């Protein structure tokens, strides 16, 4: 348990969910990626990925960018500024929570 349990309250639960954390992390390291790339990269089913992306889009963390590649319409997914800021804050908070944990459990 953290010395200061209130730190845990600062953890963004939307990002903390493992699958969404993978999606956000993947989008964080690139400028944009399409659905198929994310699906292959994260080895997720289309339904599962779609449902998690919808939640991230609702929160304003992911935006859908319509563009043309070789005159064909293409839809790319991008982490918004809000999404990047939320992820950076999440990293900071989770690091703090883990650092605050005692190196040995108190009952030992």
Q: How far is the CB of 37 from another protein (least distance, A)?
A: 3
Cα–Cα distance between 32 and 92 in angstroms, integer? Answer: 23
Instruction: Summarize as ranges the residues that interact with another protein (CB under 8 A).
Output: 18, 21-22, 25-26, 28-43, 46, 49-50, 53-54, 57, 64, 69-70, 73-77, 91
Structure tokens at 78: 């991008």
Q: Provide CB contacts within 8 A for 97, sequence distance 6+.
A: 2, 7, 8, 11
Q: How far is the CB of 34 from another protein (least distance, A)?
A: 5
* Of residues 4 and 88, the one with the C-beta less far from another protein: 88
Cα–Cα distance between 87 and 92 in angstroms, integer? Answer: 9
Q: How far is the CB of 96 from another protein (least distance, A)?
A: 14
Cα–Cα distance between 24 and 86 in angstroms, integer? Answer: 10
Q: How far is the CB of 9 from another protein (least distance, A)?
A: 18
Cα–Cα distance between 24 and 55 in angstroms, integer? Answer: 12
């Amino acid at each position: 348990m953290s010395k200061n349990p209130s730190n845990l309250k600062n953890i963004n639960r939307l990002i903390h969910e493992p699958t969404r954390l993978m999606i956000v992390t993947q989008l964080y390291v690139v400028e944009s990626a399409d659905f198929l790339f994310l699906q292959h990269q994260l080895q997720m089913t289309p339904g599962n990925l779609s449902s998690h992306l919808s939640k991230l889009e609702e929160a304003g963390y992911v935006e859908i960018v319509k563009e043309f590649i070789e005159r064909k319409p293409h839809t790319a997914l991008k982490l918004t500024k809000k999404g990047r800021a939320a992820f950076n804050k999440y990293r900071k908070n989770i690091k703090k929570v883990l650092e605050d944990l005692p190196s040995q459990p108190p009952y030992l």
